[in-house]
Structure 1
Amino acid sequence: MRSILRAQSGVRSEQELHADDPLFVQSIARAMQVLSSFHQAGRPLTLNEIAAAAGIGKSAAQRVVHTLKTLGYIERDADDRGYVPGIRILDHTLDYLRLNLLIARASPVLLELRRNVRERVDLSLRDDLRLVYASRLQSKRETFFATLVGHSVPVFCTSGGRAVMAHLSDGEVDDIITRSDRTPFTAKTLTEPEAIREKVREARQNGYAVTLEEVLPGEVALGVAILGPAGVPRGAIHVAGSLGEWQAEDFCARFAPLAAEAARAISRF
């Protein structure tokens, strides 16, 4: 089974796209490449590994790492085995969370929803082909890993993602399907384009999307889109439970109205 997605270190490709932009600062992009090298890391990275992941030379990596370490954005790990992100990264995470008006508006609504459903409640925001968790309110079953903001899941195979796609045109849906890496997470992940389109059509009709064990075995998940101006989907609310405790039909009947009400309270037209 695939792991939950983390951000890809795509700064390098972005840098190539903006190579002819006179206002684009290459040195800043290089620093972001170095920071992005940790996205897929499962342990501290050596200088050589950072250079390879960032796609830059060792000498350039050494200068960037030294600068970021001096500023507190990279540090040596506790056992001195390599480099890890520094504590000052969290300052920027806090800035995003507290200054994002949608997240601020959603927070009390999500807390009330969690009190009512007593299951896991997540808020995700769309970033092209993925949804990034910006708020996660755990249930009694959750692990530390499942409560971290910043983790992300694909749009094409998740309840929130299909709820988002339900508010897009057929052409936009096809574009998402075509560009997505549709490698399955589980044996029940739908990867065929027409099967995904059918689930999107169901979400349009029902006002919510539901997935069964498509990302995590034993999980039923329900998603409702959060809409911005002119009805453009910006993200989704997810409610997730265990198929060991719920029949899918009962789960949807119980929680879809509550999730839809919460989504309306957060959305602004």
Structure 2
Amino acid sequence: MLKTTTRAESGLRDLTEEQRSDTLFVRSVEKAMNVLSAFHHADGPLSLSEIAQRAGVDRSGAQRMVHTLRTLGYIRRDARENGFLPGIRILDHTLDTLRLDPLVRFATPVLLELRKSVRERVDLSLFDDLRVLYALRLQTKRQNFYATLVGHSVPTYCSSGGWAIMSKLEDDQVRDIVERTDLRPFTNETITTVEEVIEKVTETRDNGFALATSQIVSGEIAAGFPVLDANGNPVGAIHIAGSLSEWTVEDYINHVVPLGQEAARAISYY
């Protein structure tokens, strides 16, 4: 069965007991964050029992956490009283993350100009282990709900931005990421083996850009370009996405790749 959602997992490993035993580690904060994280793959309001199960806490503990977070505005009751939803105060922290991130601030005007030039969807993603997380999403003529949401994520292993990022990593780092990834497909054309991913990363290194077709969305063509920090490490990528119904692969490469590469160079080493 193909995946119906493209929210990817971060791949962060479970904390060790040694980390939890650190005198500076506050376990109640960990539990509160787990309660908020219970909503990550929810399709609607969650009951208290569902929150407890997803957060890995007992129902009594979940009740206290939910009550506290609700009082603070980080969880709210669904209007129809069917359960609980994230509260609007979480958006304050999203704003803080984006407005204070130097890459996002530096990249925004560059990507606005890029969108004007390519007239296709332009995204900036940030590298988060097994996934890339969208921090900027600039739409054009094609709109859909998920493609407009900041904070949405896709797997590193099968996205143009992911291939672009991995092209700047060592081979053993690439293999580690892919081998820890759930390689189930999004479309009938999604690559699903470690060797196929490594081949795409090698191709990206050789070409200087990544090109993905129908990997996450059927009929989509996307070019990816790595963004580097001051030390030359990959921290994100620019994605430019179009439709195969409107472009041949050759024409798309000729149209977007020079502009995408120029934009990536402009915001790298920020």
TM-score by length of structure 2 reads 0.96
Indicate the percent of aligned positions where both proteins have the same amino acid: 57
What SS does the corresponding residue of 1:139 show, helix, strand or coil? coil
Instruction: Give the total of aligned pairs.
Output: 269
Q: Does 1:187 align with 2:166?
A: no
| 1:15–1:133 CA distance, 2 compared to 1 (3 A) | farther
| Letter in structure 1 aligned against 2:24 | L
Which sits farther off after the overlay, 8-17 or 69-78? 8-17
What SS does the corresponding residue of 1:224 show, helix, strand or coil? strand
What SS does the corresponding residue of 2:21 show, helix, strand or coil? coil
| Letter in structure 2 aligned against 1:24 | F
2: CA distance, partners of 1:92 / 1:195: 38
Tell me which residue corresponds to 1:30.
Answer: 31
Q: Give the number of the structure with larger relative contact order, counting CA–CA contacts within 8 Å between residues 6 or more apart.
A: 2
Instruction: Indicate if the aligned counterparts of 2:77 and 2:83 stay in contact, CA closer than 8 A.
Output: yes
What SS does the corresponding residue of 1:19 show, helix, strand or coil? helix
Gaps of 5+ in 1: none
Q: Residues 203-260 of structure 1, C-alpha deviation per residue, up to 9 Å, x if partnerless?
A: 1111100011011000000000000122100000000000000011110111011001
TM-score by length of structure 1 reads 0.96
| Letter in structure 1 aligned against 2:29 | I
Tell me which residue corresponds to 2:99.
Answer: 98
| Letter in structure 1 aligned against 2:153 | S
1: CA distance, partners of 2:146 / 2:209: 26
Q: Does 1:42 align with 2:43?
A: yes
2: CA distance, partners of 1:256 / 1:235: 17
| Letter in structure 1 aligned against 2:220 | E
Instruction: Indicate if the aligned counterparts of 1:12 and 1:54 stay in contact, CA closer than 8 A.
Output: no
TM superposition shift of 1:63: 0.4
2: CA distance, partners of 1:181 / 1:199: 17
Q: Does 1:208 align with 2:209?
A: yes
TM superposition shift of 1:10: 7.8
| 1:213–1:126 CA distance, 2 compared to 1 (3 A) | same
Q: Does 1:131 align with 2:127?
A: no
TM superposition shift of 1:9: 8.8
Instruction: Indicate if the aligned counterparts of 2:9 and 2:130 stay in contact, CA closer than 8 A.
Output: no
Gaps of 5+ in 2: none
Q: Residues 64-93 of structure 1, C-alpha deviation per residue, up to 9 Å, x if partnerless?
A: 000000000000011111100001000000
1: CA distance, partners of 2:78 / 2:50: 15
Tell me which residue corresponds to 2:4.
Answer: 3
